[in-house]
Amino acid sequence: MAENIERINLLDRKFKTMIPAEEIDKAVQRVADQLNVRYEGKTPIFLGVLSGAFLFLSDLVRKTKFDCRLAFVKISSYEGTQSTGNIKQHLGIDFDIEGKDIIIVEDIVETGHSMNYLLDYLKARKPASVSICTLFFKPDKFLYEYEIDYVAMPIGNEFIVGYGLDYNQIGRNLKDIYVLDED
């Protein structure tokens, strides 16, 4: 059966299908199943990292079976297709999280700079626990020693868009994941 590769243009770049929506959904379900075991009988706070994690968080929360709360933080480090390494925080948590279980939900963890910043931000507020849950993880680019607790899909060093991930704020609405098509 031939793979169905779709090609699209976003701004000045060409992309092609890398991961279809069905595969993403199965990966999200696997993570939800793991969370359902760990947090059964608890009420953790899902902390979505805006803007990229909003679709993943939405689908993930609907697949969980425990009570939960939702909160959001907005941090950024990207310009175009590259991380700048400089973290900017635009929104934060506006309620007390001391003694609470936190599940950070991120779209992608690459170098880990943004996550490291966020972990420091949260630790100062004394939560009971902090788990990291990401849709995509680039282990070859990761620069830190802390664990990524829940990884839906490890990937290589490709630049991807779709399912919440963007290229200069475009492409978040795509149901599949696309990779740069530089052929």
pLDDT at 156: 95
What CA–CA distance (Å, rounded) separates 136 from 157? 11
Q: Domain count for the chain, please give it.
A: 1
pTM: predicted TM-score of the whole model, two decimal places: 0.88
The chain-wide mean pLDDT, for the chain, equals 90
pLDDT at 83: 53
| pLDDT tens, position by position, 146-178 | 999 999 999 999 999 999 999 999 999 999 999
CB neighbour list of residue 126: distance below 8 Å, 6 or more residues apart:
97, 98, 99
What CA–CA distance (Å, rounded) separates 91 from 36? 28
Asked, for residue 2, whether it belongs to a domain, the answer is no
Asked, for residue 161, whether it belongs to a domain, the answer is no
Structure tokens at 159: 């630049």
pLDDT at 2: 42
In the block, which residue shows the tokens 């007390």? 96
Asked, for residue 6, whether it belongs to a domain, the answer is no
pLDDT at 92: 66
| pLDDT higher than 50, residue 32 | yes
Asked, for residue 176, whether it belongs to a domain, the answer is no
Helix H or strand E encompassing 126: none
Q: What is the CATH number of the domain that holds 38?
A: 3.40.50.2020
**Short-list 60, 169, 66, 63, CA closest to 106:** 60
Domain containing 52: what range?
21-155
Asked, for residue 132, whether it belongs to a domain, the answer is yes
Asked, for residue 116, whether it belongs to a domain, the answer is yes
Structure tokens at 157: 């060093």
What CA–CA distance (Å, rounded) separates 181 from 14? 5
Asked, for residue 167, whether it belongs to a domain, the answer is no
Residue 51, preceding peptide bond in cis (omega within 30° of 0): yes
**Would you place residue 89 in the very low, low, confident or very high pLDDT band (cuts 50, 70, 90)?**
low
Asked, for residue 92, whether it belongs to a domain, the answer is yes
